[in-house]
Amino acid sequence: MNQSLPATMRYIEISSPGGPEVMHVGTAPLPLPKPDEVLIRVQAAGVNRPDVAQRQGAYPPPPGASPVLGLEAAGTVAAIGEHVQTYAVGDEVTALCNGGGYAEYVAAPATQCLPWPKNFTALQAAALPETYFTVWANVFHIGQLQPGEALLVHGGTSGIGITAIQTALAHGAKVFATAGSAEKCAVITGLGATAINYKTQDFAEEIKNLTNKHGVDVVLDMIGAPYTMRNIASLAPRGRLVQIAFMAGSVVENFDLNPVMRKRLTVTGSTMRPRTTAEKAVIAQSLRAKIWPQLDAGLYAPIIHGVFPLEDAPAAHALMESSAHIGKIMLKIA
């Protein structure tokens, strides 16, 4: 460890599982980077739905991961593990963390780090990893979205939704996205996608009408059970339904296999946090090759809805749970 580092750091501590009020600022020793990790002095961290689930006690960290909240952070490298050759002290990096992002320092595998895109601030850089790793893995790797195909994204103004819209459009796909208000639908339209208000329209009927009954090639869904059969109805022949969460439940009643077989559909899904470091490294390499040049060129950037100081993490979580936000919710730490 670098001798100039402080002995302790501020971080968000959870007294017991519960609402946002169970979070408060605590003090702890700095994490020690493993041989393949870098220690990052955190300037900004992203707030994500899995953080909320972990705070509630519904999403425990995998074995060996930090119990501290926070799956993405950006800052400068403060120390490096003995096996790390790709980064040096002082480098500006953003990292997909296995936990620990809600803190002044976090240790993360070097292979899960990426440089800040050109002209990005710490807040913009910290807004990238969780959504970009998730979208790349699920829309492009698992979902195999191709140029000229059509994508339906649910939660179109969430961090995941906006990332999926931006990257799919840049990839040459046509994009449809759902949201629950006129304001959010206007944001989707402004991004270049076709908006569907799920509160006033049946998205499956709208997709049917908008695609001349053909359907879309990929559906990215985080809602779950209530949407499943309509998602399947919205898919074109050989379409792919990719599930990344189930905010409204995971158990589908009256599931009908007939359209799956008849249209030769693929129903699949994944989670990011339990993946191995090697798997995440492959995603990081793909992002650096395929997406980072677009970010460097300024083709698009994350939309940041709100920024909170570390001690206001409870307010950030309350905003996340309200679903009133458009884009990313961030913590400014240093």
The domains located in the chain, with CATH, are 8-128+273-332 (3.90.180.10), 132-269 (3.40.50.720)
- pLDDT of residue 2 exceeding 70: no
How many other CB atoms sit within 10 Å of the CB of residue 321?
A: 14
pLDDT in tens, 317-328: 999 999 999 999
- How far apart are alpha carbons 327 and 307 in whole angstroms? 11
pLDDT value at 1 more than 90: no
pLDDT bucket at 306, cuts 50 / 70 / 90: very high
| Position 129 confidence tier, pLDDT thresholds 50, 70, 90 | very high
Report CA Rg, the chain. Answer: 20
**Mean pLDDT for the chain?**
97
Structure tokens at 131: 């959504």
State how far the alpha carbon of 194 is from the alpha carbons of 94, 136, 174, 189, 311, in Å.
31, 21, 9, 6, 38
- pLDDT value for 4: 87
Percent above pLDDT 90 for the chain: 99
CA–CA separation, 304 and 87 (whole Å) = 27
Give the C-alpha separation, 86 to 88, whole Å.
7
Contacts of 28 (CB under 8 A, 6+ apart): 8, 9, 11, 13, 103
Q: Provide mean pLDDT across the span 246-257.
A: 95
Give the model confidence (pLDDT) of 53-85 as tens digits.
999 999 999 999 999 999 999 999 999 999 999
